[in-house]
Amino acid sequence: MNKQSYDLVVIGGGPAGLAAAQEAYDQGVKDILIIERDFELGGILQQCIHNGFGLHHFGEELTGPEYAQRFMESVADRGIEIKLNTMVLEVTPEKMVYAINSTEGMLEIDAQAVILAMGCRERTREAIGIPGSRPAGVFSAGTAQRYINMEGYLPGKKAVIVGSGDIGLIMARRMHLEGASVEAVLEIMPFSGGLTRNIIQCLDDFDIPLRLSQTVTKIHGKERVEGVTVSKVDDNLRPIPGTEYFVECDTLLLSVGLIPENELSMEAGVELDSATGGPIVNEGRETSIEGIYACGNVLHVHDLVDYVTEESKLAGKTAAYFLQDKIDKRKERVEVIAGNDVSYVVPQQITDKVADRKRVDLYLRGRRPLENVRIIIKDGEQELFNKKERVIKPAEMITVPLSEKMIDDLNSEQIEIKIVKEGA
Amino acid sequence: MKQELITCISCPIGCDVEFEVVAGEINNIEGNRCPKGKDYVITEYFNPTRILPTTVRVKRGVLPLVPVKTEEPIPKKLLEKAMKELAKVELEAPVKLGDVVIKNILDTDVNVVATRDLAKR
Ligand SMILES: Cc1cc2nc3c(=O)[nH]c(=O)nc-3n(C[C@H](O)[C@H](O)[C@H](O)COP(=O)(O)OP(=O)(O)OC[C@H]3O[C@@H](n4cnc5c(N)ncnc54)[C@H](O)[C@@H]3O)c2cc1C
């Protein structure tokens, strides 16, 4: 076996891995390797050709490939080593990384620190269990996105899209502009999971109907999809008998959620959070194994890549500080609990003392759409933070800053963050 | 007097901006959290525009397509026409990010540019 060693190995060359590597380098770690299984860097951004990236981080609106290329260039400028077409097969708790490619064969890489940045994958038809036959023409929306935007073919002429998250909405516009007819976007929930901007620019602009509280209950067709049965659902998301109707189509796109890609993390023994599907991390994005970090969609599914960049720089910096022995642990670790109407919060723990830190940002998601609420953080009985928010949507991540002073002064070993209706 | 509502999409917050239209002029703009909301509503009401991101074909590239976009937003009603113009284009690899693919598309004074580098196969 081909043996190598690096101070820092970054697994995944998407925006998360690139930002993490760049930041670790800028913090003084020079012996870095990025491992990417695809033939090029950039991750999923290469297929997200639409605009809307970077407003937050660069102050201008970029497309996915443009955003990716900026980080690819900055990693290249720094001369950071990259292995493409290389698949990581295993990471051990001792931070041995096993990978394979066709030029070097099996690699055994001894790493002092590892950053997990493998992104996420899409849920499939199996995951949501639509009955019916198994004809061709059923795709996950991301697969269709890659076909249309990178490989150059349209998966069909008449499509129904299940799921109104951003990927589903973006694909509705893309299919429409490429000449397909999009019959409807169906959403099982009573609200869309996508950004308002995408509902307007992807559906309303082209009169594509969004049907809430409806889902596909049967797929028809032998060789190829010939249509789907659509049903309304009740409050418990169960199809209501008698509401079925038939929609003719040759393509069904499923945009039914993303799952952090954590097979490697699990095998390494990294503890996962069932609410995020990603590792449990501290405020520096360190997992339950010292020296192993996680950032980007492998940690929790982000709606904006800008936050991926922010978070990944943090992970890169913490990894550098770890390698340089610059981290002190707090006496007691503080658990951050997702309370009322909060579906998850990242980080789940605050454990470190970092000299030059000014604040810790908590990333959280609301459980359901709400108006006129307060976001409250409690340290025991004491209220640390209390802020009004006009609108909360599960699709849009909320950032709450905790100042270093607040963190220094924490009394309990547990803080709770919750969303409450104003006046309640 | 008419009460109108447009959701501002200048940023992900998506303010619901309400306003009145009197004699073809926008008045009493409310609900926007920043000045962008006002500009957005005025443009969106009178002349809605969009950036058009799509792809064009490439010969001898590592991929058969390269992503492109209009450098500036173009009138919404021209999106489908612009797609037809872009379907006629075929570039030759290598392509550089920022390469002009179509100059002044449909007389909009807006160029269509490549949004990534694409190496030769
Ligand atoms: C289909 C789809 C569409 C999206 N659309 C948008 C959008 O429109 N706007 C937006 O802001 N966000 C979008 N996102 C979210 C977007 O993915 C994130 O904002 C961002 O790309 C996440 O970056 P990442 O680096 O964490 O993951 P990725 O970009 O997925 O990068 C992960 C990288 O790790 C590599 N990798 C994984 N496992 C291994 C392994 N074992 N060995 C080696 N390499 C490995 C992958 O090949 C990939 O390149 C979308 C996500 C998906 C899945």
| Same-domain status, A249 and A143 | yes
Domain count, chain A: 3
Do residue A150 and residue B63 have CB atoms under 8 angstroms apart? yes
| Same-domain status, A250 and A270 | no
Distance from CA of B105 to the nearest CA of A (A): 17
| Same-domain status, A214 and A170 | yes
What is the rounded average pLDDT of the residues B87-113? 98
What are the angstrom distances between the C-alpha of B38 and each of A122, B19, B42?
Answer: 38, 10, 6
Q: pLDDT value at position A147? A: 97
| Same-domain status, A18 and A165 | no
CA dihedral A372, A336, A263, A292 (to 10 degrees): 130
Index of the ligand 1 atom closest to the CA of residue A307: 19
| Same-domain status, A322 and A353 | no
| Same-domain status, A262 and A116 | yes
In CATH, the number for domain B53-114 is 3.10.530.10
Q: What is the mean pLDDT of chain B?
A: 93
C-alpha of residue A308 to centroid of ligand 1, in Å: 10
Q: CB A419: neighbour CB atoms within 10 A?
A: 23
Q: pLDDT value at position B1? A: 56
Do residue B116 and residue A201 have CB atoms under 8 angstroms apart? no
| Same-domain status, A281 and A171 | no
Do residue B53 and residue A63 have CB atoms under 8 angstroms apart? yes
A49: nearest CB among B13, B83, B115: B115
Supply the pTM of this predicted model. Answer: 0.93
| Contacts with A331 (C-beta within 8 Å, 6 or more apart), sequence order | none
Q: pLDDT value at position B2? A: 65
| Same-domain status, A419 and A348 | yes
Index of the ligand 1 atom closest to the CA of residue A45: 21
C-alpha of residue B78 to centroid of ligand 1, in Å: 32
Nearest residue on chain B to A197, alpha-carbon basis: B9
C-alpha of residue A419 to centroid of ligand 1, in Å: 29
Index of the ligand 1 atom closest to the CA of residue A170: 8
Do residue A196 and residue B14 have CB atoms under 8 angstroms apart? yes
User: CB burial class (10 A; 0-12, 13-18, 19+) of residue A48?
Assistant: buried
Q: pLDDT value at position A30? A: 97
Listed by start position, the domains of chain B span: 2-46, 53-114
- Report the residue of B6, B7, B91, B115 to disrupt the A interface, i.e. the one with the largest count of A CBs within 10 Å: B115
B50: nearest CB among A68, A201, A304: A201
| pLDDT digits 0-9 by tens, B43-95 | 899 999 999 999 999 999 999 999 999 999 999 999 999 999 999 999 999 99
Provide the b/e sequence for A211-246 (b: ≥16 CB within 10 Å): bebbbbbbbbbeeebbbbbbbbbeeeeebeeeeeee
Given CB atoms, is B34 within the 8 Å cutoff of chain A? no
**A256, A271, A303: which is the final residue of a domain?**
A256
Q: pLDDT value at position A116? A: 98
Q: pLDDT value at position B18? A: 93
| Same-domain status, A97 and A144 | no
Q: What is the mean pLDDT of each run of 10 residues along chain A (424 residues)?
A: 96 98 98 98 98 89 97 98 98 98 97 98 79 88 97 96 95 97 96 87 96 96 96 96 98 94 96 97 98 98 93 98 95 95 97 90 94 94 92 88 92 94 81
For residue A63, list chain B residues with Cβ-Cβ distance below 8 A. 53, 67, 69, 115
Q: pLDDT value at position A175? A: 97
Do residue A177 and residue B80 have CB atoms under 8 angstroms apart? yes
Nearest CA to ligand 1 atom 48: A43
For residue A61, list chain B residues with Cβ-Cβ distance below 8 A. 51
Q: Which domain holds residue A247?
A: 124-256
Between CA B101 and CA B93 the distance in angstroms is: 12
C-alpha of residue A251 to centroid of ligand 1, in Å: 24
| Same-domain status, A228 and A153 | yes
Between CA A270 and CA B24 the distance in angstroms is: 62
- Report the residue of A62, A147, A166, A177 to disrupt the B interface, i.e. the one with the largest count of B CBs within 10 Å: A177
Distance from CA of A256 to the nearest CA of B (A): 21
Q: Which residues line ligand 1 (CB under 6 A)?
A: A 11-17, 35-38, 43-45, 48, 53, 87-88, 117-120, 122, 142, 145, 166-167, 170, 258, 261, 264, 296-298, 302, 304-305, 308
Residue from A117, A161, A163, A191 nearest A367 by CA: A191
| Same-domain status, A244 and A349 | no
Give the CATH number of the domain where residue A200 resides. 3.50.50.60
**A311, A326, A341: which is the final residue of a domain?**
A326
**A230, A256, A282: which is the final residue of a domain?**
A256
**Amino acid at site A321:** Y
